[in-house]
Structure formats: C-alpha cells, structure tokens
C-alpha cells in the first residue's frame, strides 16, 4: 500500500522483530551458504512437485541475515542479529497456485513441502476461475550474482558500528538536540532459487541503512520538533558510512542542506539535524496557498514512489490488490486514451540494476534476469511493472523481473522495482533553478505521506522547508504540506536539474499484499521544480 | 505447532537447567495457520505455515544477552543457552536494567477456540468460494483475504515466573467493486471463535455498499458532521485514528516532552480532562468479546485498565524501567482496547442526523504533526451524504486532516460497540470533522 511506517516505529520500539527472523550471535552471520547442498534440496522439492502433478514448480531456499543496532542519546538500546533459514515451494496445479514453507532443510522435508503445496493448489483449483498463465522463461542453468560491495557491514565489529552511532548522537546533543534515536540496519539475503525451467540461481544480496530522529523540546512552551536523517537505504556495504567529498551535493544557497550520493556523512547530518530541528521551533508558519515547489531528491523519491511507482504496478491496475493496497487510475483503458501523465520533461524509468540501489539484483524471485525499461516517456505512459503470470494480460511475452518475496516463508509476487525520474538534459544547478522562482518553497527530506487507493489525491510533508522569494531562499518555515492530484502535479513539472544532482532515495519498508510483505526499493531523481502546487498549513490548536 | 503446557514447560525447565547465568528467562512460542487471498472473483494466492521457536535471555549483573533456536534436541538447547550467555558476558552494562519478574498471578482469559484451531485448506477455500459465488451472481467483483492462526506462548525464568497460554484468531476482509469501477464497498470482521464467521454475510454487506455507492456526487470539502463506522476508527493492519491515540499513551514520551500528553513546563497530563465526558476507553484481557493473552511479552500480567474515564486521562503505559524510575503503575500497553458505547446502531445514528456524512472506512492514515496528533488520510469504499435522517446519495471521497483529540471533543453521539481489529469500538457521530480536499478515487 505504500510505506508501512515501520521505519519510525523501529526507532521507538527497538525490540520489534523486523522482517522476521530469529536472533543469533554475530559469528553465525558469516558462515557461508552451501550451494551444492541447496541444489540437492531444491531437486528433491522439484521432483516431488512434478510427481504430484505440478505443471510448474519453483523453490526458494533462503538465509536471511539481519543485524540492527539501536541507540539513544549516550547509550546502546539494543543489538539484534537475526537469522532466518528455510525454504518455500510454489507449485502450479490445474492452473492454480499452491505454496508451502518449511524451516526443516532436509530432502524429505522439501519433498513433503512440495506435496503439501500441490494439495493446497488442488483445493484452490476447484474454485479458480482464471487459470494462471506463465510467460515463457528459459532456464539459466547454474548461475550466481552478488551485490558489488566493498566491505560487508556484518564483518565490521559491532563495537565500531555502535561507536559511530554514539558519536553521531553526541554531535546532535552538542548541537542542541534534546533527544536522538539512531539505528543501523544491515541486511544480507542469501537466496537460492531453482525451478522446473532448469534454473539454479545463487544470489548474495547486501543492503545498509543508517538513520536517526533528532528531537528538540522547548519545555517552557511545551513545543517539540523533530528532524530525521537525510540518508538513504542503499545496496552497498559499510563503505556507505565512510564519507567521501565527491559524494556530497551542496544544497541551495541560504540552506545548510547537503545531499548524499554513494556515501553518507552521519556525523555531519546529525549535527545539522539538531540545528534545523531547533530552528523549526521558532520558524514562521506557512501561509497557505499556491507555491512553486523545488523538491530535493531525498524528498521527491517518496512522491515518485507513491504517485508513479504504485499506480503502475500491473497487479494493482488489474484489481488484485483491491482489498488492501487499492487499484489505480492508470488502467489499461486510461493508457489507451493517451492522456499525458506528466509534462514533456517527465521521463520515468524502472530497473533492478542501478548500482547502489536497494532494488538491484541479478535475477528476481521467480528466476527472471533483471532489466531496465521505460514506464513514462516524454510525459506519456508507455508500460507497467509485471511478472510472469501477468505479461499475457498486456499482450507481452516476457516478465520484467520484478517478482519478490520478503522471506522464504512468504509467497513471491509483483513488487515495485527501482522507479526513477531521469535527470534533465540541459545543464542546471539547484541555485539556477531557484533563481527563476518568484514565490516558492524548497523541501528537503521525506516526511508525512498519504495517497488515495487509486493514486489520484496525495499529501506530502517533509523534513525541512525553506521559503523562496524572488529567486532567493529567505529562511526556514514550518507547518508545510502540499496536496495535489497525481496527473496535475506531474504535468506541472517545469524544470529538472541535470545528472550531477542525481541521487537515490530509498526505503526498506514498502508494504503490499496480504499477508503484508516489506520490500526494499530505490528512487533516483535530481532536484525538480513543480509550479503552482496547493500548500496547506498543518498547525492546529488542541 | 501447538505444544501442550506440560510439553512446553518441560522444554523450558530443561533450558533453565543448562543456564549458569545470574538470571535466565526462556520463552517458547509457536503458531500454525494459513491464508487464502482472492481477487477478481478467483483465488490469487494461498499458503500455510507452521513454526515454533525458543528465545533465551541470560543476564550477568546488568549485562544481558539473547539467543534463539527452532530445534529442540538437548545439544541445540544447550548451545542456545551458551550463546545467550556469551553475548551477555560481552554486552555493555545497561543503565536501564530492571531485575526479571518473579512468580506472577495471571487472569484466566478465553483467548483460544478449538473450532479456529481446526481450520483446514478446504474450510478456507469453501468460505472464500461463498463470497466469490455471491459476487458472480450479483455481477460484481470481489477481492478478499482470510487469515487464521492458532498458537501458544510459554515463559519460565529462574525467579519463578511461569506462564502458558493458547490463542486463536481469524481475520477476514472483503472489498467489492462494480464492474465499471464506479462503486466500491468494504466489510471486515475478526474472531477468536469462528463459529459466528460467515464470509457470505460480510461479502453481502460489501456488495450492498458497492452498488449503492455508484453515481457519487462531489460536494465541497470543509467541516462536516460525520458518522464514522468502526472500520473508519480502527483498522486491523494499518494506522488508525483511535489506534494512534492509544499508541500515544506512553508515559516516557509524555514525560520527555514529546507527546500530546506532555505538560508545559514538564511532566505529563495524567488526571486532566482532555476529551468529551462521554469518552471512556479501557482494556480487559478477559473480555468475552476481545479476549487476549493474560500476560504481555515481558511476562507482566495484563489486567483490566482504564485509560480514559469520562474524558479524563487515567493511566499511561510504560516500560518496567520507566515505571520504576518515575514511581508510577507498572502497566504494559494493551493488546486491544474497548471504547464504551451505547445501544444505538449506525442506522439509529443516521436517523438522528439532520445533515452529515456516513464514512465506511478511512485509509492511508499517516501522522502529520505529533504535537497535536494531526493525521491525514482518505475516505474509501462507501461515503454517503445524509439529509433529514436518511442517506440521500453517495458522495465522492475526501481527504481529511484531523486529530483524534479534536474528534473526541466534538462528539455528538456514540453507538453500539463491535469487534474490529481485536478492539471493541462503537460508531461515532462527530461534528466539524475536517475534510481538506476531494479525491477522484473510487
């Protein structure tokens, strides 16, 4: 449906079991996954499924290793290392899917799981109205893929990582923060996929996300304000936490904002967050009305996610998510009408390839090699996101390779790939963009977010807001949220900064499906201008 | 898998026997269950899962370590305890250390029903099939989700704490849409005991809402009297207005100055009247309607607790550390809450409304300002204009920006509570509810 809000929850509830898994000690995280053993186990499942009548079967043996560190102010709150190991078998019998998962990794148990999955499929086949049709997929044989990381974060001593978080906390407290909660999430998905198509795919996927929330309290007035980190979840190793000058993008003149590319300066951002949160306490409240918005990539990524990423998921378009996430205005009929999704400047690309993105993998969770494809070209909708059992519905013969499951024990389904706004072709810096704005607001960082179930009407907040008057930033303002209609908003896109400003926003917690599953996704963009957007004032008296 | 009390406690006893730590606590939990998901009147996915796991927490002084496993032979259990103890020896001393609990008295709560524990894949397919058949007949399209589980939790520690309980649950929700996409309806229900569950009846409600919401007219956004059905007040899988309010009853956030319950100049607002005097919200693990486990995850007993009484904040929940530090009642957060209501049905509330809006469901609800608990979100799946005590016509959906604090001060009437998402909540009639824009979504 959109981000689940677990990100904020995780900071407040350090014992929350994120993404499943059981707690283990650190040494266990570094033991290798045995591909030869996995092949034997997978074959046991595939053979049993075929013997029980499956026309297609796949098995995913997964070892999901996570380590989460939580601190607040000057102390460690919790260190959780989790391992979740098991296998999920998916079968197609009589045109219906069946799925069963087990944590007992023996050939006998995998065969049993396959047989049980076929029994479930047979029960469902009796009430199935539209038999599942799979796009053809050739087997790849035995292949492997690994996130190209420089340093596995799980191999860095916990002490070093905790010291970094506590150093960031100290920076924030020294700069005037009343409280800071900080966290470091590290994820390693070791996934072995095999199918009756003849693929045996071994993948080692790494992701990292440092984040914090700084809060400043003014006891006398009872007022408090927060500012969250401008970091992004990344498909990188610990190198993301080693800041490099070349990865820093200076925000507009008149702000202290710094954007980050392939590395992040946690200490610098924590100190800045405290100063900005403090300034929020006394910043003037916005006057509601129409403004030209200048949105930085760490903010715009979330707007892209909700108003472009989700509406173009084909399962949602077709009604498969109607009971939870909702449907989409961008139906197949709407696409045929040829109405503009956005202005001619808007080019949106989907991929599972971008280096450093959290969506990057070699193959998806149903054994399809990943790719890049256009969703919106020169403002026109040209394609959707789809997997093997959806391609025929739009007259295509291939999946886009965006099938994903959050663990071995959940069934895989269509999930959002990276969805990004291509940078402007003309050279333009953010200062040059702001020069042309008469009455506007510059927004950095993602804040409050909400959108309707067909992705028309949305409302977004942010982390910090700066007023723009006559081409210049004039200072921080508060209580800002913008409300717009997806098509009107993207058609008001008036300028996009060039490639040198391009950065990734991301999340670990895109929620969709029933039972709900989390997925990680990145959204790239350069700073972008939208004209005449409706801004409301969110201050209330209670 | 559900282990019996004897099976579970004998594993836990063995685990504690392997421990050399100053303090040691072991928790066993297991579930078995399944789900079926349908869309476009056909099955999309279905699955099942069976799992048991053990968590061991060991402590040496103020240092703690945790380890878990999901195999139960002696060697694995011993290794699990050793791992927890190794981590504890290496961990920093916790400044928020509180000794483990000793023996506790727990209420007896009816959280388990054998009927629910006995659900089969065929039962799920049959229930799902009922809803699909009804929609085929009425030429509308349904998307539904049924999920059930049966499970147990057992705890034991060296200081004499001993707990064991079984539970069951079934959740069902269904969205029905008209083929042209101009009407949408929704119904949801959850049960401890499935004997009253009927997917057909719930699908009927959603189908009626879908067909009667066709032809929605746009009316101007602004402040309106609304009747919020229970599904508009709480949700079983996402943020909600009443859920957000109850989540904010954390003593530490209030005492630290970062909550709507923080007091100017320091301290919290316990004891202050912050809501309409008809607002009373409590939790009761032994409630026949929404029974929950008699103990919290950390072993603290759950008891009947009043959170708001006649509009006055009566209690806040907290961690054990914060309760001790502040010298306040040591209350875990509730796992479900009950809002006291009257006897009026939603239909009765409509009858007494001159002009207003009936809201079936609110959705994508997210915080805007934690200081005022301002939330935004949208109406969905059946929004109707009321005039002179009758539903006049369906209306287009709205975005709202509203705070549950303001909402519970603008109370006009309270209806009869019903179970939803593990809570017991009445429909509410609220004046001056703030809608800020229109949505084209159906």
Position A124 scores a pLDDT of 86
Tell if the pTM clears 0.80, that is, is over it.
yes
Would you tell me which residues 354-373 of chain B have a C-beta closer than 8 angstroms to some C-beta of chain A?
363-373
Would you tell me which residues 42-101 of chain B have a C-beta closer than 8 angstroms to some C-beta of chain A?
42-51, 53, 55, 66-70, 83, 86-87, 91-92, 94-96
Average pLDDT over residues B103-110: 97
Select from B177, B181, B266 the Cβ nearest to the Cβ of A219.
Answer: B266
CA dihedral (B367, B370, B371, B373) positive or negative: positive
CA distance A480 to chain B (A): 10
User: In whole angstroms, what is the distance from residue A344 CA to residue A341 CA?
Assistant: 9
Q: Where in chain B is the domain with CATH 3.30.2290.10?
A: 5-209
Provide the CB-side half-sphere exposure for B305 (13 A, CA).
22
pLDDT tens per residue across all 542 residues of chain A:
445 433 333 333 333 333 334 455 555 555 667 888 999 999 999 999 999 999 999 999 999 888 889 999 999 888 877 778 889 999 999 999 999 998 889 999 999 999 999 998 998 898 888 899 999 999 999 999 999 999 999 999 988 999 999 999 999 999 999 999 999 999 999 999 999 999 999 999 999 999 999 999 999 999 999 999 999 999 999 999 999 999 999 999 999 999 999 999 999 999 999 999 999 999 999 999 999 999 999 999 999 999 999 999 999 999 999 998 899 999 999 999 999 999 999 999 999 999 999 999 999 999 999 999 999 999 999 999 999 999 999 999 999 999 999 999 999 999 999 999 999 999 999 999 999 999 999 999 999 999 999 999 999 999 999 999 999 999 999 999 999 999 999 999 999 999 999 999 999 999 999 989 999 999 999 999 999 999 999 999 98
Q: Tell me, yes or no, if A145 comes closer than 8 A to chain B by beta carbon.
A: no
DSSP A440-470: EEEEES---EEE-TTS-EEEE--SEEEEEET
Q: Tell me, yes or no, if B442 comes closer than 8 A to chain A by beta carbon.
A: yes
CA distance A429 to chain B (A): 31
Token reading at A412? 């895989």
pLDDT one-digit tens code per residue, B382-405: 999 999 999 999 999 999 999 999
- Residue A81's closest CA among A1, A23, A160, A146? A23
Output the CA torsion B60→B65→B66→B67 (10° steps): -100
- Residue B173's closest CA among A416, A322, A536, A505? A322
pLDDT one-digit tens code per residue, B29-42: 999 999 999 998 88
Position B17 scores a pLDDT of 98
**Percent of chain B surpassing pLDDT 70:** 100
pLDDT one-digit tens code per residue, B311-330: 999 999 999 999 999 999 99
Please confirm whether the linkage preceding A515 is cis (ω < 30° from 0).
yes
- Residue B123's closest CA among B36, B2, B31? B36
User: In whole angstroms, what is the distance from residue A309 CA to residue A489 CA?
Assistant: 15
Q: Which CATH number fits domain B5-209: 1.10.357.10, 3.40.50.300, 3.30.2290.10, 3.40.980.10?
A: 3.30.2290.10
Position A4 scores a pLDDT of 42
CB contact under 8 A, B442 and A75: no
Token reading at B375? 């939330």
User: In whole angstroms, what is the distance from residue B180 CA to residue B137 CA?
Assistant: 16
Would you tell me which residues 308-347 of chain B have a C-beta closer than 8 angstroms to some C-beta of chain A?
none
CB atoms under 10 Å from CB of B213, counted, come to 25
Provide the CB-side half-sphere exposure for A458 (13 A, CA).
27
By the 8 A CB rule, do A430 and A418 touch?
no
Strand partners, B124: none
Element (H, E) at B338: strand B338-339
CB atoms under 10 Å from CB of B157, counted, come to 22
pLDDT one-digit tens code per residue, B327-345: 999 999 999 999 999 999 9
CA distance B74 to chain A (A): 17
User: In whole angstroms, what is the distance from residue A286 CA to residue A290 CA?
Assistant: 11
Position B49 scores a pLDDT of 76
| Summary mean pLDDT of chain B | 95
Question: Which chain B positions have a beta carbon within 8 Å of A479's beta carbon?
Answer: 369
CA dihedral (B231, B233, B235, B238) positive or negative: positive
Would you tell me which residues 253-292 of chain A have a C-beta closer than 8 angstroms to some C-beta of chain B?
none
DSSP B65-134: EEEEES--SHHHHHHHHHHHHHHHHHSPPPTT--PPP------------HHHHT--HHHHHHHHHHHHHH
User: In whole angstroms, what is the distance from residue B268 CA to residue B257 CA?
Assistant: 8
DSSP A160-200: HHHHHHHHHHHHHHHTT-SEEEEEEEEEEEEEEEEETTSEE
Q: Which residues of B117-154 are buried (b: 16+ CB within 10 A; e: fewer)?
A: bebebebbbebbbbbbebbeebebbbbbbbbbbbbbbb
Position A17 scores a pLDDT of 31
Chain B residue nearest residue A121, CA to CA: B46
A310: left (phi over 0), alpha (psi -120 to 50) or beta: alpha
User: In whole angstroms, what is the distance from residue B308 CA to residue B311 CA?
Assistant: 6
């Amino acid at each position: 449906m959109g981000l689940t809000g677990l990100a904020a929850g995780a900071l407040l509830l350090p014992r929350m079991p994120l993404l499943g898994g059981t707690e283990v000690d650190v040494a266990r995280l570094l033991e290798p996954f045995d591909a030869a053993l996995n092949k034997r186990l997978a074959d046991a499942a595939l053979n049993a499924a075929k013997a029980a009548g499956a026309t297609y079967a796949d098995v995913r043996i997964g070892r999901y290793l996570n380590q989460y560190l939580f601190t607040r102010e000057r102390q460690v709150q919790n260190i959780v290392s989790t391992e979740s190991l098991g296998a999920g078998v998916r079968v197609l019998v009589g045109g219906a899917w069946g799925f069963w998962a087990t944590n007992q990794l023996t050939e006998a148990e995998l065969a049993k799981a396959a047989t049980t999955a076929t029994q479930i499929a047979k029960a469902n086949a009796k009430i199935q109205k539209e038999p599942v049709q799979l796009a053809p997929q050739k087997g790849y044989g035995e292949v492997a893929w690994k996130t190209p990381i420089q340093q596995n974060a799980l191999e860095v001593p916990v002490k070093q990582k905790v010291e970094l978080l506590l150093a960031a906390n100290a920076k924030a407290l020294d700069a005037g923060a009343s409280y800071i909660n900080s966290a470091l999430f590290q994820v390693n998905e070791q996934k072995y996929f095999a199918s009756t198509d003849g693929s045996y795919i071994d993948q080692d996927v790494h992701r990292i996300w440092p984040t914090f929330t700084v809060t400043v309290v003014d006891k006398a007035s009872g007022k408090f304000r927060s500012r969250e980190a401008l970091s992004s979840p990344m498909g990188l190793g610990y190198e993301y936490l080693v800041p490099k000058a070349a990865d820093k993008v200076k925000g507009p003149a008149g702000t202290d904002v710094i954007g980050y590319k392939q590395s992040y300066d946690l200490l610098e951002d924590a100190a800045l967050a405290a100063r900005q949160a403090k300034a929020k306490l006394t910043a003037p409240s916005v006057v509601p009305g129409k403004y030209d918005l200048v949105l930085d990539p760490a903010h715009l990524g979330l707007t892209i996610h909700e108003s472009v990423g989700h509406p173009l998921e084909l399962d949602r378009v077709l009604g498969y998510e109607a009971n939870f996430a909702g449907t989409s205005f961008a139906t197949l009929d709407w696409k045929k009408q040829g109405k503009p999704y956005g202005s001619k400047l808007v080019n949106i690309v989907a991929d599972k390839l971008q280096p450093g993105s959290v969506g990057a993998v070699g193959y998806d969770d149903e054994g399809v090699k990943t790719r890049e494809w256009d969703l919106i070209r020169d403002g026109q909708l040209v394609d959707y996101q789809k997997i093997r059992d959806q391609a025929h519905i739009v007259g295509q013969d291939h999946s886009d390779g965006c099938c994903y499951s959050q663990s071995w024990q959940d069934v895989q389904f269509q999930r959002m790939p990276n969805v990004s706004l291509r940078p402007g072709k003309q050279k333009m810096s953010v200062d040059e963009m702001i020069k042309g704005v008469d009455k506007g607001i510059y927004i950095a960082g993602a804040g409050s977010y909400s959108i309707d179930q067909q992705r028309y009407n949305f409302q977004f907040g942010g982390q910090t807001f700066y007023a723009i008057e006559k081409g210049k930033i004039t200072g921080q303002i508060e209580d800002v949220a913008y409300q717009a209609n997806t098509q009107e908003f993207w058609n008001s896109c008036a300028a996009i900064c060039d490639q040198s400003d391009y950065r990734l926003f991301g999340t670990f917690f895109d929620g969709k499906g029933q039972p709900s599953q989390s997925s990680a996704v990145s959204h790239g963009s350069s700073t972008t201008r939208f004209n005449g957007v409706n801004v409301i004032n969110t201050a209330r008296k209670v | 898998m559900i282990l019996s009390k004897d099976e579970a406690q004998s594993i836990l006893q063995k685990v504690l026997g392997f421990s050399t730590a100053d303090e040691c606590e072991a928790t066993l939990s297991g579930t078995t269950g399944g789900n079926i998901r349908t869309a476009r009147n056909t099955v999309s996915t279905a699955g099942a899962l069976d799992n048991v796991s053990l968590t061991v927490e060991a402590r040496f002084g103020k240092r703690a370590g945790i380890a878990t496993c999901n195999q139960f032979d002696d060697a694995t259990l011993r290794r699990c305890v050793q791992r927890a103890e190794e981590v504890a020896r290496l961990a920093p001393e916790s400044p928020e250390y509180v000794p483990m609990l000793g023996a506790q008295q727990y209420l007896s709560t009816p959280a388990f029903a054998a009927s629910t524990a006995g659900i089969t894949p065929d039962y799920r397919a049959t229930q799902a099939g009922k809803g699909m058949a009804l929609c085929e007949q009425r030429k509308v399209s349904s998307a539904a989700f049924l999920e059930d589980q049966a499970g147990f939790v057992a705890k034991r520690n060296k200081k004499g704490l001993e707990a064991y309980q079984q539970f069951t649950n079934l959740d069902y929700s269904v969205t029905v849409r008209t083929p042209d996409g101009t009407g949408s309806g929704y119904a949801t229900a959850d049960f401890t005991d499935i004997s009253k569950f009927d997917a057909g009846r719930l699908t009927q409600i959603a189908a009626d809402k879908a067909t009667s919401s066709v032809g929605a007219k746009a009316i101007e956004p602004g402040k309106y009297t609304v009747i919020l059905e229970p599904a508009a007040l709480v949700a079983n899988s996402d943020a909600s207005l009443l859920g957000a309010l109850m989540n904010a009853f954390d003593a530490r956030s209030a005492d630290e100055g970062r909550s709507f319950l923080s007091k100017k100049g320091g301290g919290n607002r316990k004891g202050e009247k912050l809501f309409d005097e008809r607002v009373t919200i409590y939790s009761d693990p032994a409630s026949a309607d929404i029974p929950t486990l008699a103990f919290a995850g950390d072993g603290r007993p759950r008891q009947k607790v009043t959170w708001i009484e006649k509009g006055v904040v009566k209690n806040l929940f907290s961690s054990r550390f914060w309760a001790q530090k502040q010298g306040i009642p040591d209350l875990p957060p509730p796992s479900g809450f009950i809002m006291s209501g009257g006897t009026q049905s939603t239909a009765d509330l409509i009858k007494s409304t001159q002009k207003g809006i009936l809201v079936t469901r609110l959705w994508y609800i997210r915080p805007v300002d934690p200081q005022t608990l301002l939330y935004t979100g949208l109406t969905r799946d059946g929004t109707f204009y009321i005039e002179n005590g009758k539903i006049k016509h369906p209306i287009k959906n709205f975005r709202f920006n509203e705070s549950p604090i303001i909402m519970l001060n603008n109370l006009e009437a309270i209806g009869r509570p019903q179970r939803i998402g593990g809570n017991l909540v009445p429909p509410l009639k609220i004046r001056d509810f703030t809608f800020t824009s229109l949505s084209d979504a159906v």
